[in-house]
Amino acid sequence: MNIINGGVTKVKGIKGQGIHAGFKKEKLDFMIIYSETICNAAGVFTKNKAAAAPVIIDREFLSDGKAQAIVCNSGFANACTGKEGIDNALLTAELVSNKLGIKKENCLVFSTGVIGIPLPMEIMKSAIEKTIPQLESTTKASENIATAILTTDLVKKEITIENDGYIISGITKGSGMIHPNMATMLCYILTDAEVPSDILKESLVSSVNKSFNRISVDGDTSTNDSVVILANGLSNIKIDSSKKIESFKKALDFVCIELAKKIARDGEGATKLIECECNGAKTQEDADIASKAVISSSLVKSAIFGEDPNWGRIVAAVGYSGAEMDLEKIEVKLGEITIVKNGKGAGVPKEEARKELQKENIKITINMNIGKYSSRAWGCDLSYDYVKINAEYHT
């Protein structure tokens, strides 16, 4: 497995483009990704009961495990917009599919931005007319696509790998409202491997549970969270044996984990990436919820921003997580420094522990010492700027 340059258009048969359409004042805000052939496809979507119109449509469109195009606007979420929102999402799919000469049901529609405002369809129609003639397989097109889906993000987030002769490439957006129980996040993954729809779905669900469902920025779950994967098979490499399936799953895990970490690192106002590893848990669920509780704790996140090695907040988060624990056995490390042993402070000088918190990447390791299960989760610190950014975000 090798990380390569080129973005999503490095995948064979993929074209795309991102433009400034007018959904936002200045920045790129609209993109289309198109495969020359119909793809096997799968998706995982928000569990928020106020699901946005595009989520409702895409769930239905993906029921046959096929897709050929992805379209996304940034600036308007098309969430809580009633029947008009559904109609606008369907019309968007129809307009794009007619221009591309594909089935409407094979065009997946996404939106991100402010909730509760209807999509400006005149801008949408113009955006589609402008973008489709510009679709191309260039690195610049990939960069435009990755940029056009952003909202409060500071940087674009993408990764492309070559694995066993095929390519997997992913882009994502997400900065605030990140507490997925799938992630605010959109993620599009493209591959030219030939993967059966059932294997694709199984692999995606597994990878999402190891990555996007283990990040938290602010504890909110968006109305629009979506992760989709399209596989067009144009590499002519079939994922048709247990060995190839295992290799594909590992590669997809890597892509999803790297993208999830990029989201956590770019959390609104964030200055540090936090990774929490929980070992020695009694069950896998215990390991998962304990590590997630630590990186989700506002008190832990605030302490890390303030570079205060307040280990009590870490132990408290594990304690309320619901994971089984024996307080007298728990150990906690900051980096390589043991700060809690047998459930008590290890007597490490505060200034020594503080040095670990002055780094940009913070590693917290918890050992429950009551079992064999492990898990990791990622988050970011909670700074003054988080409140400022969200207080000033247009509603």
Catalytic residue annotation: 184
As a whole number of angstroms, the distance between CA 230 and CA 245 comes to 16
Reported as half-sphere exposure (CB side, CA atoms, 13 A), residue 119 has a value of: 34
For the chain, how are helix, strand and coil distributed in percent, rounded to 5? 40, 30, 35
As a whole number of angstroms, the distance between CA 258 and CA 256 comes to 5
With b for 16 or more beta-carbon neighbours within 10 A and e for fewer, the 254-263 pattern comes to bbbbbbbbbb
Known binding residue 173? Answer is yes
Token reading at 66? 């096929």
As a whole number of angstroms, the distance between CA 284 and CA 206 comes to 14
Instruction: Find the helix or strand (DSSP H, E) in which 170 lies.
Output: strand 166-173
- DSSP string for 76-137: E---S-HHHHHHHHHHHHHHHHHHHTS-GGGEEEEEEEETT----HHHHHHHHHHHGGG-B-
Known binding residue 172? Answer is no
Known binding residue 390? Answer is yes
The single residue listed with the structure tokens 């700027």 is 385
Side chain identity at residue 119, one-letter code: L
Coil, strand, or helix at residue 313?
helix
As a whole number of angstroms, the distance between CA 160 and CA 119 comes to 32
Q: Which residues contact 49 (CB under 8 A, 6 or more apart)?
A: none
Token reading at 95? 């307009």
Known binding residue 9? Answer is no
Known binding residue 268? Answer is yes
Known binding residue 359? Answer is no
Instruction: Find the helix or strand (DSSP H, E) in which 67 lies.
Output: strand 66-76
Q: Of 50, 255, 58, 18, which Cα lies nearest the Cα of 138? A: 18
**Sequence ranges of the binding site:** 151, 173, 184, 268, 390, 395
**Sequence ranges of the binding site for substrate:** 151, 173, 184, 268, 390, 395
